[in-house]
Amino acid sequence: MKVIVTKDYAEMSAAAAELVAKQINDKPDCVLGLATGSTPEGMYAELIKGYEAGKIDFAAVRSVNLDEYYPIKPDNDQSYRYFMNTKLFDHVNIDKANTNVPNGLAEDAAAEGARYDKIIADLGGIDLQILGIGQNGHIGFNEPDTELVAGTHLADLTEDTIKVNSRFFASVDEVPKQAFSMGIGSIFCARNIIIMASGANKHAAVAKMLEGNITTLCPATLLNLHPNVTLICDEAAYNG
Ligand code: F6R
């Protein structure tokens, strides 16, 4: 794993955006795997600036998002579809028809998982996947467990994750208890992966991942098995 340590969140965001911009410039119709949450927000803001400056063209870019709450309507302001539209897609020249987020209303979870993994396969896999990391080491919503699921699936969120994500909701009771998430196998369809982390609250998970051992009890450690992973984290996440 390649490691880039930045001074702070702003530098982390700029460094990640530079690699995404390079990917788009190298392959204008690339497939980006995208994440939501606090971590990539600054990176999306930098990408919008790059677009506005005429340095990045999203016209041919395709995207697949990691996850979506269940059940949730796409126009709910807590949905990850809403997040992507408002934080990136509405501000650049991406064709929304080329953007994919799991369907937070799908009634048949197995069919939705299969549909989503077929989208990834039909796109030819992911060129560059962006990941955040949970305080408990989750990637996507692959939560620590004795077994992990390979494909896209409906995941039960842990109490920890529900509590951490409640900061975005009016109360903890409003946080959905489940989410569709790419599985570890779906994520490993990516040829290149960037995992980002900011803040001392991510230090334990980052340190566990950097130890190099593999455990499903810290799903991010599986990234040690992938040949092209770059960790971009700030000093607080790196040093604690
Ligand atoms: C988001 C996702 C999650 C987050 C993780 C960190 O699409 O898949 O794994 O990356 O929960 O969230 P933040 O960035 O809010 O700390």
Does the pTM of the predicted model rise above 0.85? Answer: yes
Q: What is the pLDDT of residue 15?
A: 98
Please say whether the beta carbons of 157 and 178 come within 8 A.
yes
Q: Give the tens place of pLDDT for each residue, 36-55.
A: 999 999 999 999 999 999 99
The CATH number linked to 219 is: 3.40.50.1360
Please say whether the beta carbons of 90 and 56 come within 8 A.
no
Tally the domains of the chain: 1
Q: Work out the average pLDDT over 76-94.
A: 98
Q: What is the pLDDT of residue 181?
A: 98
Question: Which residues make Cβ contacts (< 8 Å) with residue 3, sequence separation at least 6?
Answer: 210, 230, 231, 233, 238
Exactly one of 65, 143, 192, 234 is catalytic; name it. Answer: 143
| Distance from the Cα of residue 10 to its chain's centroid | 18
Exactly one of 65, 103, 136, 142 is catalytic; name it. Answer: 136
| Distance from the Cα of residue 132 to its chain's centroid | 5
By alpha-carbon position, which residue is closest to atom 9 of ligand 1? 140
- The percentage of the chain sitting over the pLDDT mark of 70, rounded to a whole number, equals 100
Calculate how far, in angstroms, residue 143's C-alpha sits from the geometric centre of ligand 1.
11
Please give the helix or strand (H or E) that residue 42 lies within, else none.
helix 41-52
How far is residue 11's CA from residue 34's CA, in Å, rounded to a whole number? 19
Q: What is the pLDDT of residue 96?
A: 98
Q: What is the pLDDT of residue 101?
A: 98
Place 33 in a pLDDT band, splitting at 50, 70 and 90: very high
Question: Domain residues for 159?
Answer: 2-239
Q: What is the pLDDT of residue 222?
A: 98
